[in-house]
């Protein structure tokens, strides 16, 4: 699945790789791969977009660590 990670003026194609659930199932660890590096400060949030879908464009947000 190809999603787009948006942070300020950056919008990068992102591929979903895996999910790891340790303890609370509501807080999984998601792993994505990007073609280029994303510039961010520690604790920043990224908005995930699915641009190939119908009317749903924003999938959610992630806190980057």
Q: What is the CATH number of the domain that holds 28?
A: 2.40.30.10
Host domain of residue 56: 2-63
Beta-carbon-side half-sphere exposure of residue 31 (alpha carbons within 13 Å): 5
- Taking the CA atoms of residue 18, residue 20, residue 58 and residue 5 in that order, the dihedral angle to the nearest 10 degrees is -60
User: How many domains, in total, are found in the chain?
Assistant: 1
Q: How far apart are CA 42 and CA 64, in angstroms?
A: 7
User: What are the pLDDT digits (tens) for 9-64?
Assistant: 999 999 989 999 999 999 888 888 998 998 999 889 999 999 887 787 898 898 88
pTM of the model: 0.75
Quote the pLDDT of residue 63. Answer: 87
């Amino acid at each position: 699945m190809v999603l787009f990670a948006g942070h300020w003026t950056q919008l990068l194609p992102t591929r979903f790789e895996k999910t790891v659930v340790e303890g609370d199932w509501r807080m999984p660890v998601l792993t994505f791969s990007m073609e280029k590096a994303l510039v961010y400060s520690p604790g920043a949030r990224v908005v995930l977009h699915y641009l190939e879908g119908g009317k749903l464009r924003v999938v959610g947000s992630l806190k980057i660590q």
